[in-house]
Amino acid sequence: MTEADPQHVQAVFDSQLETALRWRESTAAERITRIRRLRDALLARREAFYDAFMADYRKSPSEVEGSELLPVMDEMRHAIGRLRRWMRPRSVWPTSTTLGTVSAIQYQPRGRVLIIAPWNYPLSLCFGPLVSALAAGNTVIIKPSEMTPAVSSLMGRVIADVFPESEVALFEGGLATSQMLLDLPFDHIFFTGSPTVGKIVMVAAARHLTSITLELGGKSPAIVGETADIKRAAETLMWGKFLNSGQTCIAPDYVHVHESVKDAFIAECRKVLRSRYGETDAKQKLSADLTRIVNERHAQRIAALLDDATSRGAVVRSGGEVDLAQRFIAPTLLDQVPQDARILEEEIFGPLLPILGFSQLDTVIAYINARPKPLALYIWSRTPEEIDRVLKRTSSGGACVNHCVIQFAHGGLPFGGVNNSGIGSAHGHFGFKAFSHERAVLRSSPLMLVKLFFPPFTESRRRMIRRVVDMLRLPML
Ligand code: NAD
């Protein structure tokens, strides 16, 4: 793998300063034009993206459309339609101590921003934040993942079609390129990836007090309650788990199923898998709709999790086949997984689903609360009190009831984690705000009370100040 040339990186970073200062005054119309040009260049290479995804990890064109192009197009549409409103300064009423002033929040571009992206949705996780960064008026440097080289290089060509490097640049490369970029004093870093690397990014950002958005991962739990619609739960959970072969940050990592419905749930899941990917294991292996594991190292990592679980007594209820040469791992359902299995410790990020039985919801809630806060949490149930109890007593970046993963697709919702699963949020208005500085602007007037607080503090002035402070005990209107 070739790393970026440090001198070139520095020259591009320097050249973006002048643009960033100029773009502070950019209008909504100018930013929208940039996003439209990006959209047109992306669509002009639509078929080339099919080929690139096929080359990198045999992702089907329909999945490329549904999970890569669709979120980016939606982000673009949202920004184009709403940007004028987002950019408008937001007026803020004076408070009792600032009576006589006029205040507003002004949305300023942060300046020069860095986007570092992972490999699992390489297009969507580079171009989605790019749209938000452009909407907010920033210059951008992107470092895509080295693990999907065909898609990364094609994205570089799309960007070069639309932008000079002094506006937006993409540098391919691995660790060295990433570190080189992290050494620079960007105004904001938007990182998507693992919690481990997220911590490295946070330390690097601290050196320049650069603000950050961290979109991380972790183990997202799912719960199927006693009253759940089992057919619906199986249909939706099998989709969310095996989309992109489980290489999805918000995929249900493992599922707690009420003991009374567990066997029925597993039977329904097996039925769904057979109808979607093929009646037999051999046919499933030939399915064009199952994305491959991104590389052999990851395939080995997932295979080792499977081996470890079965060697400790887990039972394979569907799938289980591993072909490392083809980077194929069958969609696999695992029952009776012992608590000490590694698969219950680390993020699986592959097509293995541990199914854990439960009889008391409180034990599930305690299990989730004993672990780092996840990026997503899912519950299937027809009992509103049960849903409410889970939502109130747990924490996660986002949550979805009676479905999974689709919360990502709602441009009006913030997308992000909490603590170990991330800091800050993306998408739509939240993405725009992540890449903007909310600047408080107060315009004074001669009527202002502030003169009262100027020395010298005579006795009468001291009494007046005390009275003003005391007035703050009164409830707000
Ligand atoms: P990763 O953290 O290994 O890599 C992400 C990016 O960081 C890549 O561009 C990589 O080149 C770079 N990088 C790797 N090591 C680095 C280091 N030491 N210093 C600086 N940069 C470094 O993640 P990944 O394997 O590409 O992706 C999988 C992870 O990402 C999973 O944990 C998944 O849950 C998470 N993820 C989160 C989201 C989200 O939106 N929250 C989306 C997709 C993936």
The domain tally of the chain equals 2
Please, are residues 326 and 292 in contact by the beta-carbon 8 Å criterion?
A: yes
Q: Is residue 471 assigned to a domain?
A: no
* Sequence-distant (≥ 6) Cβ neighbours of residue 30 within 8 angstroms: none
Over pLDDT 90: what percentage of the chain?
A: 94
Q: Is residue 467 assigned to a domain?
A: no
Q: Tokens at residue 188, please?
A: 């904001």
Whole-number mean pLDDT of the chain?
96
Looking at the fold, whether 140 and 16 belong to one and the same domain comes out as yes
Cα Rg of the chain, angstroms: 26
* Rounded Cα distance, 5 and 200, in Å: 22
Pocket of ligand 1 contains residue 204 by CB under 6 Å: no
Pocket of ligand 1 contains residue 156 by CB under 6 Å: no
pLDDT in tens, 193-251: 999 999 999 999 999 999 999 999 999 999 999 999 999 999 999 999 999 999 999 99
Looking at the fold, whether 24 and 167 belong to one and the same domain comes out as yes
Amino acid letter at 216? L
Looking at the fold, whether 250 and 375 belong to one and the same domain comes out as yes
Q: What are the start-end ranges of the E strands in 135-217?
A: 139-143, 168-170, 188-192, 211-215
Q: Is residue 384 assigned to a domain?
A: yes
pLDDT in tens, 292-330: 999 999 999 999 999 999 999 999 999 999 999 999 999
> What is the domain-level CATH number for residue 33?
3.40.605.10
3-state helix, strand, coil in the chain (%, to 5): 50, 20, 30
269 labelled catalytic: no
With 70 as the cut, is the pLDDT of residue 125 above it?
yes
Q: Is residue 447 assigned to a domain?
A: no
With 70 as the cut, is the pLDDT of residue 408 above it?
yes
Looking at the fold, whether 337 and 313 belong to one and the same domain comes out as yes
Q: Tell me the residue range of the domain where 404 lies.
A: 221-416
Q: Is residue 476 assigned to a domain?
A: no
H or E segment and range at residue 241: helix 230-242
Which protein residue's CA is at the shortest distance from atom 30 of ligand 1?
A: 193
Pocket test for ligand 1, best of 67, 124, 186, 194 (most atoms within 8 A of CB): 194
Backbone angles phi, psi at 229, to 5 degrees: -80, 105
Looking at the fold, whether 290 and 200 belong to one and the same domain comes out as no
Query: Has this prediction a pTM greater than 0.85?
Result: yes
* Rounded Cα distance, 249 and 214, in Å: 13
H or E segment and range at residue 260: helix 259-277
Q: What is the DSSP string of 409-422?
A: G-TTS-B---BTTE
Query: Strand pairing of 112-116 and 322-323?
Result: unpaired
Q: Is residue 364 assigned to a domain?
A: yes
Q: Is residue 474 assigned to a domain?
A: no
Please, are residues 199 and 126 in contact by the beta-carbon 8 Å criterion?
A: no
Helices 28-44 & 46-57, crossing angle to 10 degrees? Answer: 60
> What is the domain-level CATH number for residue 351?
3.40.309.10
pLDDT in tens, 363-380: 999 999 999 999 999 999
Looking at the fold, whether 267 and 313 belong to one and the same domain comes out as yes
Looking at the fold, whether 378 and 354 belong to one and the same domain comes out as yes
249 labelled catalytic: yes
Looking at the fold, whether 190 and 264 belong to one and the same domain comes out as no
* Rounded Cα distance, 305 and 303, in Å: 5
Given 63, 68, 126, 249, which residue is catalytic?
A: 249
Q: Is residue 38 assigned to a domain?
A: yes
With 70 as the cut, is the pLDDT of residue 341 above it?
yes
Looking at the fold, whether 241 and 388 belong to one and the same domain comes out as yes
The 3-state DSSP class for residue 373 equals: coil
Looking at the fold, whether 189 and 233 belong to one and the same domain comes out as no
* Rounded Cα distance, 409 and 189, in Å: 23
Looking at the fold, whether 23 and 161 belong to one and the same domain comes out as yes
pLDDT in tens, 444-465: 877 666 778 899 999 999 999 9
- Give the burial class of 395: count Cβ atoms within 10 A of its Cβ; 0-12 exposed, 13-18 middle, 19 or more buried: middle
Looking at the fold, whether 260 and 398 belong to one and the same domain comes out as yes
